[in-house]
Structure 1
């Protein structure tokens, strides 16, 4: 199934730190991943991994059990999807360092993002996390150890003292921790090669990167999710990494979750352009340098941010991107293939409106989320602020006094009830795929604010229905002074 793709490995990234799917949904969607051209998964478990012993506190409420992890790996094998687990070991450690019992290992006391690389306990912690993950992934050829966006590095007290010593730099501090983590992986799991995001390496001078020993231990994943990424700049970066001694390189694009922290609908055209440019990057260098590409699908920007596009919402974009990688672009015949895979009659990559249909697993969620995202808020505004029956016969004056002409209830009530019914349908669809906390969060962020306004309107209508109309209410007695 490799087609003409310059990327031998094409991995779909599952970001489980937000809205992790139930295993039952993964069983439905893995065959589609494979049919679309994926041959691997990068699974970022975060707090969904069933850490045990002293690490048990890291588990989320609905974390997968060990048997569920084994089932996921079994489903991946059935669909010829090679699994690469991802364990954060430096930056993006919020899900670990937010806990009081581990807060003393923060680089900066106020921020749970970054691990203090000076503490021996820090390396012991990430080593234990790695070992538990690898125990359930004994056949993994690669392990991604994260190491991206190591914010505030060098700003802790121990780092400040260390940096005052001659020849010590933030780059050296970063590379020493990365080397220690990679060395642990290779010592304990010699058949597994560490991968790491490349952003902390980009600005490191060639001689320092070469001398660090990291290029002999790990493989960098060059990530860029922009629709206008610098193809020439990426080619030069690849050359730099090769000169420093990295044997193989990886790329990372994005099919969702990279265009806004609270993005609800996926802008497919943006992500298609990103992948077309990665194809140009691959074409600009030697054919055997890039081991593969990770199609990232971020579910949160970090552990504390809101949810961005849910996985089912991003499936059309994923299909477009995978097929474009497989066939060298997005020509009409490729578009027809995507429509056939997804059961979508006419795919419009420039907007959201025509993507709300389909027969792929989760297509009902896409259809309902599209309606909610495009129309709920504006529809409620329209009803409450511009509808002639509401503004003319059930204004704030009438609502406070619970007064309404009975006929007007028949005009107003159905419009308010329509969205309540759709919200119930969406909630049921989400519950089939996601755990209760993710369902509650998405609805609270995207549906409930508008729905509460409608529910208050319906409550006022109900109370007004039993109140005398304005015409029947007693007015002031003309024979008495107010």
Structure 2
């Protein structure tokens, strides 16, 4: 067996031996440091060995990069405290800095709009401008200043939409005879070479999707295989195992020494998703475990469990971190143990303080004692027991639709007897909304900044509450108008 990979290890041994990262997507709903202090020990106890932190506009950029910094960004002191807490809980931190695609938080600012690949779209960077590279170097430098002693840095590079469609790219491709793939790899190599030469000893990770279509030979010839470790992401529940195994084999043949995998524990089933479907993410991890079983053990560097908070910089917030923690716990324990068994399920329930754990449905009886469990309980109660009944009442109640339509409300008309049919349910629903919204707001403010709480509630809950409130006001006004 000399020279042959050892494939005799069990799935449990092989999964648990690798780096397992929890992804914190901070471009939406960045948790307060006090909440991170509560959940980091939980992450570690469940099997995580590190954090993949995507700061985006919550990083405390300064000087020429100050426009990138959101008003609610962490301070340098808070970043240091996050790193201290991570170290205390044996979690290695890997920052993620976007360097090509998903640059909206940079390119939306007037100071940098001239660096867009396509002038109309702020998502992708123009790779031909020297100023673009200076911008990336500055971003990486400022992040590295606060993250001393790093072993890895993730340089993003996924979903570089519209690459090759800018005028400079069109000219370059036409004159050079190269492809968009070549253009992508050229930029990736420049960024990687700069980091490797500037920060010796730091290994680089990049998302792999822009590399998937390239042949093994083209990847080898590009030079990127000696500079970065690709992170293959697939968040689907029906992940094609053999397809991913073949992709890993191609990457290995092209010269990549190590491969990362990326699953998802939340934020991958709908841009406006509010509750996490654990079963979807559990199945995703089961498929990835099948992939791990089929590849040489020494190929896999680690797994990142992504938890997207926005699909991109401009999209709405999806499931908040506390809502996704039961899913994270299930997925971490499944990876650590190599399978999801009754024993694993019981262990997860014990750690989270949950009497039951429904992986197949959006639980309507959520409970728990984990940090932020009150947020999950309240959101579940509102969505199951308030939102749907309110929508049913406003849009399908026969008395509202038949005797107090928009036409009637505009003219302040109502038969007094119909008030007795409509008002009790309307007032009861409004009272319940008022109480639960108050409790939820208080719970959210313990975890997130004001701007996040305002956004989430305005987007997901306030439309129903305000419609109901307006209906009650219109009822009273119409009734007064009849007397």
* 3-state SS, counterpart of residue 122 of structure 2: strand
- Alignment-derived partner of residue 476 in structure 1: none
Structure 1 position 383, deviation (Å): 2.9
- Partner of residue 420 from structure 1, selected from 431, 434, 445: 434
Residue in structure 2 matched with residue 123 of structure 1 by the alignment: 133
1:452 to 450, 466, 477: 466
> Does the 8 A contact of 2:12 with 2:335 survive in 1?
no
Counterpart for residue 107 of structure 1:
117
Q: How far 1:394 sits from its partner (Å)? A: 6.5
Residue 450 of structure 2 corresponds to 436
Which of these residues, 5, 9, 14, is aligned with residue 19 of structure 2? 9
Does 2:358 correspond to 1:348?
Answer: yes
TM (norm. structure 1) is: 0.93
Shift of 1:403: 6.4
Deviations 1:417-440 (A, max 9, x none): 111221121111111111111111
Q: Which residue of 2 aligns with 1:479?
A: none
- Matched ranges for 1:286-301 at <5 A: 286-301=296-311
With over 3 angstroms needed to count, the CA separation of the structure-2 counterparts of 1:416 and 1:185, relative to structure 1, is same
Q: Secondary structure at the match of 1:114?
A: coil
Q: 2:5: which partner in 1?
A: none
* 2:8 alignment partner in structure 1: none
Structure 1 residues 385 and 187: CA distance shift in structure 2, 3 A:
closer
- Alignment correspondent of 1:401: 413
1:122 and 1:152 map into 2 onto residues whose CA distance is: 16
2:142 matched to which residue of 1? 132
1:480 equivalent in structure 2: none
SS in 1 for 2:175: coil
Q: Distance in 1 between matches of 2:229 and 2:398?
A: 64
Question: Which deviates further from its counterpart, 351-360 or 301-310?
Answer: 351-360
Contact in 2 for aligned 1:390/1:412 (Cα 8 Å):
no
Task: Pick closer, same or farther for the CA change 1:179–1:456 going to 2, 3 Å.
Answer: same
Distance in 2, Cα, partners of 1:226 & 1:410: 45
Partner of 1:222: 232
CA radius of gyration, larger in: 1
Distance in 1 of aligned mates of 2:165 and 2:391: 47
Structure 1: tracts of 5 or more residues without a match: 474-482
Q: Which residue of 1 is the match for residue 197 of structure 2?
A: 187
Please say if residues 226 and 255 of structure 2, whose CA atoms lie closer than 8 Å, have aligned partners that are also in contact.
yes
Corresponding residue number in structure 2 for 1:72: 82
Deviation at 1:44, TM superposition (A): 0.1
Supply the distance in 2 between the matched residues of 1:112 and 1:24 (Cα, whole angstroms). 33
CA distance in 1, matches of 2:403, 2:123: 54
Cα 1:287/1:392, change in 2 over 3 Å: same
Deviates more, 1:110-119 or 1:164-173: 164-173
SS at match of 1:4: helix
Matches of 2:405 and 2:218 in 1, distance apart? 70
User: Which one of the candidate residues 304, 320, 342 is aligned to 1:310?
Assistant: 320
Q: 1:111 to 1:460 in 2, by over 3 A?
A: same
> Matched residue pairs, number?
468
3-state SS of 1:112 partner:
coil
RMSD: 2.0
Helix, strand or coil: the match of 1:107? coil
**Which residue does the alignment assign to 2:54?**
44
The match for 2:376 is 366
Tell me the secondary structure at the aligned position of residue 159 of structure 2.
coil
Q: Does 1:160 align with 2:160?
A: no
